[in-house]
């Protein structure tokens, strides 16, 4: 029973990590399309 519970927790954590990885990949794709880092760096340079 304890082993089964550990397996359940492990599988749920694994799914959680996979969903986070997918979310990060999607946001990275959006970042490549929008390129907000250039805007952010330019605004930081003007702010400094």
Give the domain range for residue 21: 2-47
| pLDDT at residue number 6 | 82
Compute the CA torsion angle 45, 40, 29, 17 (nearest 10 deg): 110
Asked whether the beta carbons of 44 and 37 are under 8 A apart, the reply is no
Question: What token pair was written down for 4?
Answer: 């089964």
- State the total domains in the chain: 1
Over residues 9-40, the pLDDT tens digits come to 888 888 888 898 999 889 888 877 766 667 77
Predicted TM-score (pTM) of this structure? 0.45
The stretch 42-47 carries a mean pLDDT of 70
Over 80: is that where the pLDDT of 42 sits?
no
């Amino acid at each position: 029973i304890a082993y089964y519970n550990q397996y359940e927790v492990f599988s749920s954590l694994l799914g959680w990590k996979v969903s986070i990885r997918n979310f990060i990949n999607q946001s990275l794709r959006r970042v490549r399309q929008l390129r907000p880092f250039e805007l952010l760096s330019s605004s930081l340079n003007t702010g400094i």
